[in-house]
Amino acid sequence: DIARRSWNTDGYPNATTLELHTMQFQSFWNSGWIYNVTTEDSRVGWVFPSSQRYSELYGMTMHNLKPATIMDDTLLSAQDFLDLQVLWYLYQFSPSYVQGQYNASHLDQGLIDLFMQNGQYSLTDLTYVLDAQEAHMSNILPMYSELAASGQVELTTTPYYHPIMPLLMMDGWTFEDGIRVNKDSWSDDVTNHLQTGMDLFEEELGFRPVGMWPSEQSVSPEMVQPVADVGIEWMVTDELNLEESTDLSGETIDISVASNLATPWMVDDVAVVFRDRVISDRIAFQYGSMTPEAAASDFLAYCDDIRQQLLDDGKDPSEHLLTVALDGEN
């Protein structure tokens, strides 16, 4: 990471001009609330000083740029640039987390002090934040292993380099505008991505998983066998793929029927669960603007409604699965 490099006497890290502009550009890829904390906020009002400073830096730079035009912005002064780097990495911590609200052992007074500081950070401050990040990240995989061993979670893998496996399996296709893509079916590539992903998972966590998140939840009948061949027993995809599928009798599947969407479907030797797009998208795009209490209440009400639909259809809710699946960055 460039922030870990030595910093020159001019006050900037040892990097090219393009790298510096890229750092500045990317250091504002944050949620909007971070720049708009008020002292009246009962949960995070205590971080107002650093939020105010972040907002000042935001106002000093351009934000409607594309990667190809980031050089159009003016590079911040050395102190402003350093403040920006500290804030960028600092706000990757949850304020509640560093206060020890989830576990007293997480309390970090050093990070708390930085949250309560309005700029004028030092290289020592930046090093403190980066060291804290590395310390916490080093605990993540061991924690995952422990949770999996205790049966509290099931961990899944994904193809190694995020391939769109249905496209790799196809021997060409024609776009809507008539342009033809000519290629062979690259099934060996699919197998390599799957195998490498499984191997890395086992190397880091000590066992091989049986569940998989296909890249972009993209699936096709042709990619099922390679998936099964590496030991995957189930995978997840979007409800629209179920809606566009047919059952063994050739009938289309009505996903408005709760029991259809809340049932794993077998495709050869692999079970496929289909995510409920409504509740998944509420988490991704709506709940962030709601209070935690309102969001949790809405989520539980939705689950209760699905449960009632199953009961009304004479189904046992305990034999059905409501799948919530979404990208973490949302």
Helix then strand then coil, % of the chain, to nearest 5 = 50, 10, 40
What are the beta bridge partners of residue 238? 275
Rounded-to-integer distance, Cα 135 and Cα 111, Å = 13
* Whether residue 69 is found in the same domain as residue 159: no
* Whether residue 191 is found in the same domain as residue 126: no
Q: Residue 145's pLDDT is what?
A: 94
Which structure tokens are listed for 102? 């989830």
* Whether residue 82 is found in the same domain as residue 186: no
3-class secondary structure, 251: coil
Q: Residue 329's pLDDT is what?
A: 59
* Whether residue 270 is found in the same domain as residue 162: no
* Whether residue 281 is found in the same domain as residue 328: yes
* Whether residue 16 is found in the same domain as residue 26: yes
Residues belonging to the chain: 330
Q: 76 in a domain, yes or no?
A: yes
Which amino acid makes up residue 25? F
Q: Which among 189, 210, 232 is the end of a domain?
A: 232
Q: Residue 32's pLDDT is what?
A: 86
* Whether residue 116 is found in the same domain as residue 72: yes
Which structure tokens are listed for 153? 């979670």
* Whether residue 327 is found in the same domain as residue 252: yes
Q: 292 in a domain, yes or no?
A: yes
**Locus of tokens 């973490």:** 328
Rounded-to-integer distance, Cα 53 and Cα 119, Å = 6
Contact partners, residue 316, CB within 8 Å, separation at least 6:
310
Query: What is 180-204 written as a DSSP string?
Result: EE-----HHHHHHHHHHHHHHHHHH
Which structure tokens are listed for 10? 């001019």
Rounded-to-integer distance, Cα 204 and Cα 206, Å = 6
Rounded-to-integer distance, Cα 73 and Cα 96, Å = 34
Q: 145 in a domain, yes or no?
A: no
Taking the chain (330 residues) in runs of 10, the rounded mean pLDDT of each run is 91 95 92 92 95 96 80 95 98 96 95 98 98 94 95 97 96 92 96 98 96 96 97 98 92 96 96 97 92 96 98 98 83
Q: Which among 194, 211, 232 is the end of a domain?
A: 232
How many domains does the chain contain in total?
3
Number of neighbours of residue 228 by Cβ within 10 angstroms: 16
pTM of the prediction? 0.81
Which structure tokens are listed for 258? 């709760």
CB 326 within 8 A of CB 281: yes
Torsion of CA 53, 59, 64, 67, to 10 degrees: -50
Q: Mark 231-256 as b/e (b = at least 16 C-beta within 10 Å).
A: ebebbbbbbebbbebeeeeeeebebe
> 250 is in which domain, residue-wise?
234-330
Rounded-to-integer distance, Cα 209 and Cα 214, Å = 14
Which structure tokens are listed for 159? 């193809």
Q: Between 123-137 and 78-90, two packed helices, what is the crossing angle to 10 degrees? A: 20
**Locus of tokens 């990619």:** 223
Q: Which among 138, 164, 188 is the end of a domain?
A: 138
* Whether residue 20 is found in the same domain as residue 129: yes
* Whether residue 16 is found in the same domain as residue 123: yes
Q: Residue 327's pLDDT is what?
A: 81
Torsion of CA 216, 222, 225, 227, to 10 degrees: -10
CB 213 within 8 A of CB 158: yes
Q: 174 in a domain, yes or no?
A: yes
* Whether residue 23 is found in the same domain as residue 121: yes
* Whether residue 167 is found in the same domain as residue 201: yes
